[in-house]
Amino acid sequence: MRIAFLTALEGVEEIELTEPWKAVEKADWNPQLVSTGPGRVQAFRHLDKAGTYPVDHVLAGGSSDGYDALVLPGGVANPDALRMDEKAVGFVRDFFTAGKPVAAICHAPWTLVEADVLRGRTLTSWPSLATDIRNAGGTWVDEQVKVCRATPATLVTSRKPDDLEAFCTAFVKEFGNHGS
- Interval 41-64 mean pLDDT: 94
Model confidence at 132: pLDDT above 60: yes
- Interval 63-69 mean pLDDT: 95
User: How many angstroms separate the CA atoms of 117 and 53, rounded?
Assistant: 28
- Interval 115-142 mean pLDDT: 98
Q: Is 106 a catalytic residue?
A: yes
Would you state the pLDDT for residue 175? Answer: 97
Q: What is the mean pLDDT of the chain?
A: 96
| For helices 14-26 and 164-179, angle between their N-to-C axes, nearest 10 degrees | 40
For the chain, give the percent of residues with pLDDT over 70: 99
- Residue 144: how many CB atoms within 10 A of its CB? 15
Would you state the pLDDT for residue 179? Answer: 66
Would you state the pLDDT for residue 180? Answer: 53
Q: Where are the domains of the chain?
A: 2-179
- Interval 13-28 mean pLDDT: 98
Q: Which of 106, 148, 168, 178 is catalytic?
A: 106
CATH class of 2-179: alpha beta
Q: Which of 57, 107, 148, 168 is catalytic?
A: 107
Q: Is 46 a catalytic residue?
A: no
28-37 pLDDT, tens digit per residue, is: 999 999 999 9
Where does the pLDDT of residue 93 fall: very low under 50, low under 70, confident under 90, or very high at 90 and above? very high
Would you state the pLDDT for residue 61? Answer: 84
Model confidence at 90: pLDDT above 60: yes
